[in-house]
Structure 1
Amino acid sequence: MSVFVLLVSRLADLLDPVFAASATAVAIVLFTALVRVAMHPLTRAAFRGERARAALAPRIAELKRRYPGPKNADRLRKAVIALQAETKTSPLAGILPMLVQLPVFFVMYRAFSSGRVGGEVNELLGHRLFAAPLGSRWLDALGESGLLGAQGLVFLGLFAAIAAVAGWTVVRARRAGAVSALEAAGAAAAGPGRAGGRAGGADGVGGAEDPAEAMVRRMVKVMPLMAFGTLLTAAVVPLAAGLYLLTTTAWTAGERAWLQRRWDRAEAAAGAGARSSL
C-alpha cells in the first residue's frame, strides 16, 4: 500500500464519524491542504522572488536603453544576468511551487485510477462524494445517471467551483497586471532616456530582451488563463483528482491574495516611515 493511500485511509477513518460515506473525499481535501501548508515557505520565497524581479524592471529597462539594437543583444543578456546575480533574483521565480505539486497530482491520479496499489486491492475506489464514486470520471457519471442525475450533479458542482476559482484568479491577475503596467510606465517616465524607451516598444529598445525574461513574461500572461484549463482536466480525471485540483487552485488563489495584501501593507508602512523621517 502506498504512503498516500495509507495517509488518506487513516484520515478518512478519523473523519468517518462526522462525514460518513464522504469521509474519504474530505480526507483528500484535508491531505491537499496539509501538503500546501508544508509548501508555504517555498511559496513565500517564490512570491518574494517575483516581487524582487518586478522591482528590477526599471533597472532592466535602463540596461535596454544602454544597449540598444540586435548588435548589443549579447551585452544586454550578460548585463541582465549580472544584475540578477547581484540582486539574487531569478527569472524563473514563482514556477517552482507549481512544479513541486505535479508529483502529488500524479500520485493522486494513479491511486484512483488503478484497481490495485502495491499488490493490494485499492479500497479507495469504492468510496464516494455524495452519490459519485471517487474513482469515477465525468463520462462515467453521464453514462450512469445522465447530466442532471445524482452523480452528474456532483461533477457539475465541482466544475462550478473550479470555474469560480478560475474566474477570480483571472480577475486578480488582470488587476495586478494593470497596476504593474502603471508602475512601469511611471518608472520609465521618471528615468532618463524616456524617448528611447518608447521608441523601442514594449520589449525594450530595438526589441532586445533576455530569452529567459521573455519566456517568463509569456508564461505570466498565459498562466491565469490556464486556470480554466483545470476544468478540462477535471472533466477527464477521476473525481478524487478533481477534488485535489479544486482544493489546490483555491488554496493558491487565497494564498497569493493574502501574501499580496501583506506585501502591500508592508510597502505602505515602509513608505509612511520614510515620509515621517523627512
Structure 2
Amino acid sequence: MPAFLEAPVAGAYHLITALVTAIEPLTGAYAAVTAIVLCTLAVRLLLLPLSIRAHRGMRARAALMPRLKVVTDRHRDDPERLRREIAKLQSESGTTLFAGFLPTLAQLPFFWLMYTLFSRAVVAGESNQLISGSLLGAPLGLHWPVLTGTPAFLALAVLLAVVAFFSARRQLRELDETATPLTRRIAQVLPFGTLATAAFVPLAAGLYLLTTTTWTVLERAVLQR
C-alpha cells in the first residue's frame, strides 16, 4: 500500500479499536460488530446534507427528462448541438444527469477503509485486533468461500436480498413514464449488486454494505415524503 494511504488506515484503525474497547462492557463479543454499525451510521449522518442535495437534484432531473427527450429527438443527428442543448437544460435546472450518484461516490473511501481494516493481519505496525471480532461465531475478517453455509453468511445474504428488493421497488416507483424498458430493468437488478459485492469482501465489509443500504432505503423513503 502507498505510504500516503497508511495514515488514514492507521487513524481509522485506532478510532474503531477505541470504540470497540469503550462499548465492549455493554456489547460483549459483538463489540466489533456494533462498532462497524455505529461507524457506518456516523458516516451516513455526516453525508446527510449531500444526500438531501442529491435527492433534490434527482427530482429536478426527473422534471427535466421530458424536455431532455424532446431535445434528444430534435438534435439526434447533430451531436455537438445536442451536447450544447443538454448542457443548457442542466444549467437552467441547476442539476446534472449524475446528481444521484454523489452520496455513493462519497462513501467509496469509507468502504475501502472497512475492506482494508478487515483484510490485513497487521495494521499500524501491530497485530490487527479487529479481525478477532465475530458475527454469529464467524470471524469478521473471513471471505465468502470460508463463510458459505455459516449462519452469519446466510443471514447477511438474506438481509441484503430483502433490502435490495425494497430498494428496487422504490427505484421503479420513482421512474417516470419516459423511462425505457432497459432503464427499468437496470433499476430492478442494480440494487442486488450488493449481494455480489458481499461475496468478495470480508464479512465486516458486508456488514457495512447491509447497514448503509438499509439507511439508503429508509432515507429515500423519508426524503420522498
Name the TM-score class by shorter chain.
Answer: 0.7 to 0.9
In 2: Cα distance, 1:253 partner to 1:230 partner: 13
CA distance in 1, matches of 2:219, 2:185: 19
Provide the residue aligned with 2:4 in structure 1.
none
Superposition RMSD in Å: 2.1
1:82 maps to which of 78, 85, 88: 88
Counterpart among 175, 181, 191 of residue 227 in structure 1: 191
Native 8 Å contact 2:143 2:203 kept in 1: yes
Match of 1:162 among 160, 165, 180: 160
SS of residue in 2 equivalent to 1:255:
helix
- 1:41-60 C-alpha deviation (Å, 9 max, x unpaired): 01111111111111122333
Q: Which one of the candidate residues 48, 59, 67 is aligned to 2:56?
A: 48
After TM superposition, the structure 1 = structure 2 runs for residues 1-278 of structure 1, keeping only pairs within 5 Å, are: 2-64=10-72, 67-70=74-77, 72-142=78-148, 147=149, 152-177=150-175, 180-181=176-177, 222=186, 224-261=188-225
Q: Do the aligned partners of 1:21 and 1:130 also contact (CA within 8 Å) in 2?
A: no
* Counterparts of 2:219 and 2:83, CA distance in 1: 33
* Residue identity matched to 1:237: V
Aligned length: 216
Secondary structure at 2:97 match in 1? coil
Aligned AA (1:167):
F
TM-score between the two structures when normalised by the length of structure 2: 0.87
TM-score by length of 1: 0.72
Structure label with greater radius of gyration: 1
CA distance in 2, matches of 1:229, 1:62: 32
Give the CA deviation at 1:96: 1.6
Q: Distance in 2 between matches of 1:101 and 1:223?
A: 20
Instruction: Report the CA distance between 1:64 and its aligned residue.
Output: 4.2
2:76–2:82: 8 Å Cα contact kept in structure 1? no
Structure 1 residues without counterparts, runs of 5 or longer: 186-201, 203-216, 262-278
The one-letter amino acid of 2:111's match is: F
> What is the percentage of aligned positions where both structures have the same residue?
43
Is there any run of 5+ residues in structure 2 with no aligned partner, and where?
1-8
How far off is 1:223 after superposition? 5.1
Instruction: From the superposition, tell whether residues 129 and 64 of structure 1 become closer, same or farther in structure 2 (CA, over 3 Å).
Output: closer
SS in 2 for 1:2: helix
Supply the AA of the counterpart residue of 2:170. Answer: R
What residue number does 1:213 align with? Answer: none
CA separation in 1, counterparts of 2:88 and 2:191? 34
- What is the aligned partner in structure 1 of residue 3 from structure 2? none
